[in-house]
Structure 1
Amino acid sequence: GDTRIEALDNSLFDKLQVFDGDISPMLEPDNNAIAIAVSLDDYGNLRNPEYYPKVGDTITVTYADDVKYIDSRTGELTEVTPEEYFQEKLYGARDVEYTVCALVNLPNSMSYRYSGFGYDVVLSVDTAQRDSGGAAIPMLYLFDTADEVDEAEAEQYLSKLTAGEFSPLMYESKATARSEFAQFRQMFLLIGGILCAIIGLVGLLNFFNAMMTSILSRRREFAVLQAVGMTNRQLKTMLIYEGLFYAMSSVSAAFILSLAVGPLAGKMLGSMFWFFEYRFTILPVLLTIPVFLLLGWLIPCMMYDNAAKCSVVEQLRDAQ
């Protein structure tokens, strides 16, 4: 299959993560050693290890001075040639055998960032130039900075160097990676905030509806209590205590559900996103306490004041 070869300067081999074998043979002069670049999942685990060659295996790489496509039927490619008849023709082809010395993982900043059929392999620049017969043309440059001050200066320099809509240069850095991740994080915060706001609004409306229904359904009961001697103040106080009881019961239930469901949801999200870390916070529950207490006090007061405009006789007649 197609093999993607990436040639590295010797100083970059320290950046490789070695899973098996040893990369030191590739640094020796006149070597025929090669490393297989493996693919990891988001948690750093090797996927499909059986797919890759083993350390010590021999693989053959074919180099060519030129590659052209021809029509497999006629030998010449035309604009009307169907794609199924496209055939590669190699000029100056020669095979070179390499011994696999290691399985390695390339940092994303050093890789091709795409894959296809065949293997991704790593060679030293000297070996690649020797076997390909051509000069190595840099695909990308890598820079290390000593500290945050140097990092900021390098960021400013590269930003100016690549500025302009038609600049042929582009760069990536820790700052650009942080910015992209911050935008990705903002998306979760926005969607999660909207969902929480909707659920919170539904909960408040349900709480409001439950309290109003409870009071309205017991209008006859309240009228009877007033008829046998309960004062307006006592009735109002009883309704307020009921409202506050409902409010604290709702907050307690929310707190218990958060303790029970939170870790499960956190574990599920942690398995979906490698960067997610569950951390329980009681702040949202604490913020809802004054809201529910206010509603637990306000709704009974409003309902009582509205009912108090009618006499006990009228309330009994309306309740019937």
Structure 2
Amino acid sequence: MRQDYARYESAEQLDSHMSRMEHRGNRVMGDTRIEALDNSLFDKLQVFDGDISPMLEPDNNAIAIAVSLDDYGNLPNLEYYPKVGDTITATYAEDVKYIDSRTGELCTEDTPEEYLQEKLYGERDVEYTVCALVELPYSMSYRYGGIGYEAVLSVDTAQRDSGGAAIPMLYLFDAADEVDEAEAEQYLSKLTAGEFSPLMYESKATARSEFAQFRQMFLLIGGILCAIIGLVGLLNFFNAMMTGILSRRREFAVLQAVGMTNRQLKTMLIYEGLFYAMSSVAAAFILSLAVGPLAGKMLGSMFWFFEYRFTILPVLLTIPVFLLLGWL
């Protein structure tokens, strides 16, 4: 708990925050998000350690801890989570209120933050045994994070221990094939249409559409940047050629004075331009081979969806442009 808040608060703020929370001996009580799943959904959990079968047994006291993976499917900070076989205590409360630690009375709007203290009413403790560490698919999650662990129970166990009825938050179903998926997509789209509709849905199609838009944004920005860099390169090449020709007018006059014809002078300049153009293309190709994999590896470490593939097409497209400039 302390290390969670330490990411956002200074040491002084952290000590003050910890002092305002409910304590049990030398332990601090923290919020835990418990998700109750129907038994049919347990097959969709990815188990990293342990076994989830005890959670399906009647009258069990087994609980699974949901872990957070990074963008590459790795599990960082494994030591942060309880180990399989550990016993954890969950406190269910009928109500939670903030009191003024100076008076013991309910706090008001004028109560300074440093005197706010959580107070549980109608609490009862239930001990659970951690049976597994699992990954909870995003489609089955609460859609928000927080401080503390995220745990998974069966619906029957959650209702038994909380003393309340289970209220469905999400309905999930699988489509048998692409035809059924398309029909379900069309039906749900009509059902949730309207700006003020109280219903919403998520599907593979909506996820693909959102990711395609996200990818298109990268392609658009990258394309614009490449076009700007390419245009600057072409203008610099043209400027260098014209500057070289203008600065060598005295040299050209001397060559013509010793017998070089206008046609020979023009041919010489064309060959020089073609040489510079092909040299530029060759240099760009070599730099692409050398720098491309390094840049691709760097971007791949930043964006999990990025995959580097070398293509010679941009180089081939620039060859006619440089040849034309060299000829002119």
Would the TM-score normalized by the shorter structure come out above 0.5?
yes
Structure 2 unaligned regions, length at least 5: 1-29
CA–CA distance in 2 between the matches of 1:10 and 1:108?
18
Displacement of 1:70 in angstroms is 3.0
CA–CA distance in 2 between the matches of 1:195 and 1:28?
59
* Structure 1 residue aligned with 2:74: 45
Displacement of 1:274 in angstroms is 0.5
Displacement of 1:145 in angstroms is 0.7
* Structure 2 residue aligned with 1:31: 60
Of 275-284 and 80-89, more deviation after overlay is shown by: 80-89
Displacement of 1:19 in angstroms is 0.6
CA–CA distance in 1 between the matches of 2:190 and 2:277?
58
Of 69-78 and 115-124, more deviation after overlay is shown by: 69-78
Is 2:244 the counterpart of 1:214?
yes
Q: Which of the numbers 271, 274, 283 marks the counterpart of 2:304? A: 274
CA–CA distance in 1 between the matches of 2:246 and 2:119?
87
CA–CA distance in 2 between the matches of 1:88 and 1:218?
84
CA–CA distance in 2 between the matches of 1:154 and 1:83?
50
| SS in structure 2 of the partner of residue 163 of structure 1 | coil
Query: Deviations for 1:82-135, whole angstroms, at most 9, x for unmatched residues?
Result: 333333332321100000000001111111232222211000001000111111
How many matched pairs? 297
Displacement of 1:161 in angstroms is 1.1
CA–CA distance in 2 between the matches of 1:176 and 1:70?
45
**Percent identity over paired residues:** 95
CA–CA distance in 1 between the matches of 2:173 and 2:98?
38
Q: Which of the numbers 130, 153, 163 marks the counterpart of 1:123? A: 153
Displacement of 1:219 in angstroms is 1.4
| SS in structure 2 of the partner of residue 36 of structure 1 | strand
CA–CA distance in 2 between the matches of 1:12 and 1:168?
25
Of 163-172 and 64-73, more deviation after overlay is shown by: 64-73
CA–CA distance in 2 between the matches of 1:217 and 1:117?
70
Query: Deviations for 1:157-193, whole angstroms, at most 9, x for unmatched residues?
Result: 1111111111111111111111211121122112111
CA–CA distance in 2 between the matches of 1:72 and 1:90?
14
Structure 1 unaligned regions, length at least 5: 298-320
CA–CA distance in 2 between the matches of 1:64 and 1:253?
70
Displacement of 1:257 in angstroms is 0.6
| SS in structure 1 of the partner of residue 235 of structure 2 | helix
Query: Deviations for 1:30-74, whole angstroms, at most 9, x for unmatched residues?
Result: 100000001110001111111001000000001122333333333
Displacement of 1:295 in angstroms is 0.7
| SS in structure 2 of the partner of residue 139 of structure 1 | coil
Q: Which of the numbers 253, 264, 273 marks the counterpart of 2:283? A: 253
| SS in structure 2 of the partner of residue 293 of structure 1 | helix
Displacement of 1:201 in angstroms is 1.2
CA–CA distance in 1 between the matches of 2:314 and 2:125?
66
CA–CA distance in 1 between the matches of 2:98 and 2:188?
39
CA–CA distance in 2 between the matches of 1:169 and 1:87?
37
Displacement of 1:231 in angstroms is 1.5
| SS in structure 2 of the partner of residue 288 of structure 1 | helix
* Structure 2 residue aligned with 1:11: 40
* Structure 2 residue aligned with 1:71: 100
| SS in structure 2 of the partner of residue 12 of structure 1 | helix
Structure 1 vs Structure 2 CA RMSD: 1.3
CA–CA distance in 2 between the matches of 1:261 and 1:226?
45
* Structure 2 residue aligned with 1:148: 178
Displacement of 1:224 in angstroms is 1.5
Q: Larger radius of gyration, structure 1 or 2?
A: 1
| SS in structure 2 of the partner of residue 214 of structure 1 | helix
CA–CA distance in 1 between the matches of 2:109 and 2:303?
47
Displacement of 1:17 in angstroms is 0.8
Of 270-279 and 90-99, more deviation after overlay is shown by: 90-99
Of 187-196 and 109-118, more deviation after overlay is shown by: 109-118
TM-score normalised to structure 2 length: 0.88
